[in-house]
A and B are shown apart, each in its own frame.
Chain A
Amino acid sequence: MNEKNLCGLLVKNRLMAQLGINAFRYEKDKRKRNGKIAMTVAIFICLIMVIFYSAIVAYGYAYMGLGELIPTISLVICSMITLFFTMFKANGDLFGFKDYDLIMSLPVSVRTIINSRFINMYLWNTFITILVMLPMGIVYAVFTKPYFGFYIMWPVGILLASLIPTTIAAILGAIITAISSKFRYASTMATILSILLIVLLMVIPMTFTQSDSGIGSLIDSKTGNIDKTAFSAIAPIISGSLNRLYPPAKLFSSALVEHNIISFLLFGGISIGWYGLFVYLLSIKYKQINSALTSHISRADYKLVTLHQGSMRTALYVKTTKRILKSTICATNLLIGCVLSIMLAVAMVIAGPAKILQTLEISNSVAILNNTAGYVIAAMVCMTNTAAVSLALEGKNIWLIKSLPIAPKILYDSYLLTNLSFTVPTSFICSILFCISLKPGLIGGFLLIITPQVFAFFTAVMGIMVGNRLAYYDWQDEVQLIKQSMMTMIGILGGLAFVILCGALANTGIVPVSPGLLTFILDILLVVLTAVIYLKEANRPIRA
């Protein structure tokens, strides 16, 4: 079999594992099969939402007379999504994957292995790119009536779009894993570096778009009508910001808007050349990087010291907390809500609420922020729902939990404690910082502190409920569990949706009660609901 076919075989094998095709075809356990089907349906709904959202965004720009920005914006959106989704998959997908030993022992060249792993990432990212760029391209075609070259360049552009960001993400992932592999606590180091990188990647775009684009002056304050001429005038400003943020977007935009074939050829050449260079350079050091990742520091010089007795609950709590913190995938994905909320709270104190709202282009909303700040903190912090996945994270170790004399309540308590250890202090710190920034008064401050705490407890208990109903232990890699499982989706998005629902109920005037009083009533109701769910769930047997 030639190298091309071998590469195809490796890609096919990996896709079969990721898509769980055999589970659909051969799984006899109805529960598992139904779980897969439910998950597929949920993902399908999310994908339709992505298509719909992309089309709406493109329509919005076209409607405002900014149609020429659509190529730039679509490419920047796809590239950002690709970058964020691929960066933390590099370790596990490209490096240090589970079947590394098996694959490397086969008569396949290193370059073919890298190609197969990279093509796999590329296929997924191109799939997302299609979901974003295809509807945006259709809207662009309908509104701007482009020249014939568009119908060739746009589809080719879709196929090329994810090459550069996938490569950049793989390089960043490789750098993080290479640096962290030098440390004794490699995974902790990888987590810290990954979170720093996320923060950096979020701050960089803000510096490119922070200049006042004058959005506020584009809407007539008296009539509320959009001034289309003014909008057209700011198009170059937005375009310039995005091009500075992601230079290849300039080439793509120039090709489509200015009909510049050379720019398109350059865009294609850079994308393919960049990828080729990456594969060539990586193939030289690939074995070395993987060896560093899979080898462990072993001191073998331990001397027994005094061992202290602790309670069962504490032992389980410490074990679960370490499990989450020592896994880069878990820590970066599950704790990002806490990190972002702290970032926002610190920014609120340093820059002030008016400036932050202006950056987010929602100025004149300081009064609303006073009422909703508690919900804003809750929404971000509740995205950290480790309780929902803690049981499933036991994975192949579940035999231990089941064979040890552990009462379900104690196990669930330990999962709750772990979750609350992240969310409660974060919520409290954010609340204090928001209080300093907003100066909400005594009652406002009380609600600002209490509301996120109530939601933190509620979402953690909900996480236990969800986790014990949907947990499965035969997952192949953590990425699959953390990023693609029903538990995480419900755990994170369910909590978020609940916070938004309560926030909207309290602040939109649907109920003729003041926002503060309504928030207080909702808090009390939520405390009662949390207690009821906890008591009901506490003694539920551990899921088989």
Chain B
Amino acid sequence: MLTIKNFSKTYKGDKKAVDNISLEVKEGDIFGFIGHNGAGKSTTIKSVVGVLDFEEGEILINGHSVKKEPLVCKQITAYIPDNPDIYEHLTGIQYLNFIADIFGIPSSIRQEKIKKYADAFEITGNLGDLVSSYSHGMKQKLTIISAIIHEPKLLVLDEPFVGLDPKAAVTLKEIMHELTAGGSAIFFSTHILDVAEKLCNKIAMIHHGKLAFAGTMEDLLKEKEGGSLEEIFMEIVNHEL
């Protein structure tokens, strides 16, 4: 579903934020992307979803190039950023309706999906209020709902659990499982290693822009002989130092 081939991203000043990484996310995968602050996770994610332009390498979504066919890619992708900066001048329902219009979701389906997910995140009653009145967590919930109402084939999330209350975090995990069971793929970054260990079937570790590991969670734990993901991550980080 998502193929990243020899992807590099250099910012102004010749600093390589991401250096020649390759990885593949298949249908049904929950793929965790782990790394320290400034490792290059957000840069990679933003390039995948078309927010950032890039020069080196290739990113394909369902076989379509992000660079050459951006609209085809975006039609089947959803992105949830690390900071839920959404239109504060709209009400929650207006925002969801706006996103549904962009994806051309029929009236009955959008209504059904919005009801289902807004009830699950317990914000149905707040949908008539302006987004500017929402807390960080509520905005995060609204962003999640807007990302999944069109049933994306690829869901890309940047630190999705930050700001969510424990119940909402559980709901999100359930939704992630539900989506992958339906054939979608999920690619997400996180700093919460316990969550990654329990939730992901595949994982990639990025360190100073370079890929330190990419593979199944099973292989990683086997390779490192029974250590936890947190211990393995610390070992990689300290080894580099």
A residues near B (Cβ < 8 Å) are 28-30, 187, 296-304, 306-312, 314-316, 318-319, 322-323, 326-327, 396-400, 402-407, 544
Q: Give the chain B neighbours of A327 by CB distance below 8 A.
A: 89
Q: Give the chain A neighbours of B103 by CB distance below 8 A.
A: 404-405
Ordered nearest first, which 5 A-B pairs have the shortest CB separation? A302-B128, A296-B133, A315-B101, A405-B74, A326-B89
Q: Give the chain A neighbours of B87 by CB distance below 8 A.
A: 319, 323, 397, 400
A322 to B77 Cα, complex, angstroms? 27
| A403 engages B74 (CB within 8 Å) | yes
The answer to whether the Cβ of B203 comes within 8 Å of any Cβ in the partner chain is no
Q: List 30 A-B contacts (CB under 8 A).
A: A30-B12, A296-B129, A296-B132, A297-B129, A300-B125, A302-B126, A302-B128, A302-B129, A307-B93, A307-B100, A307-B110, A307-B111, A309-B100, A309-B101, A309-B104, A309-B105, A309-B106, A309-B107, A322-B89, A323-B87, A397-B86, A397-B87, A399-B79, A399-B81, A400-B86, A403-B50, A405-B75, A405-B102, A406-B102, A544-B53
Among residues 45 to 72 in chain B, which have CB atoms less than 8 Å away from a CB atom of chain A? 46, 49-51, 53, 70-72
The answer to whether the Cβ of B99 comes within 8 Å of any Cβ in the partner chain is yes
B41 to chain A, nearest CB (A): 15
How many A-B pairs with Cβ below 8 Å? 116
A438 to chain B, nearest CB (A): 40
CB < 8 Å neighbour of B12 from A29, A187, A310, A404 = A29
A316 to B111 Cα, complex, angstroms? 20
The answer to whether the Cβ of B85 comes within 8 Å of any Cβ in the partner chain is yes
Q: Give the chain B neighbours of A326 by CB distance below 8 A.
A: 89
| B86 engages A302 (CB within 8 Å) | no
A31 to B146 Cα, complex, angstroms? 34
A199 to B49 Cα, complex, angstroms? 47
A326 to chain B, nearest CB (A): 4
Q: A28-B12, A322-B89, A327-B89 are in contact. Are A308 and B107 (CB under 8 A)?
A: yes
B46 to chain A, nearest CB (A): 8
Q: Give the chain B neighbours of A308 by CB distance below 8 A.
A: 107
A2 to chain B, nearest CB (A): 37
Q: Give the chain A neighbours of B12 by CB distance below 8 A.
A: 28-30
Q: Give the chain A neighbours of B13 by CB distance below 8 A.
A: 28
A231 to B114 Cα, complex, angstroms? 74
* Binary A-proximity of B126-143 (CB < 8 A = 1, otherwise 0): 111110110000000000
A400 to B74 Cα, complex, angstroms? 11
- Chain B residue nearest to A300 (CB atoms) is B125
| A302 engages B125 (CB within 8 Å) | yes
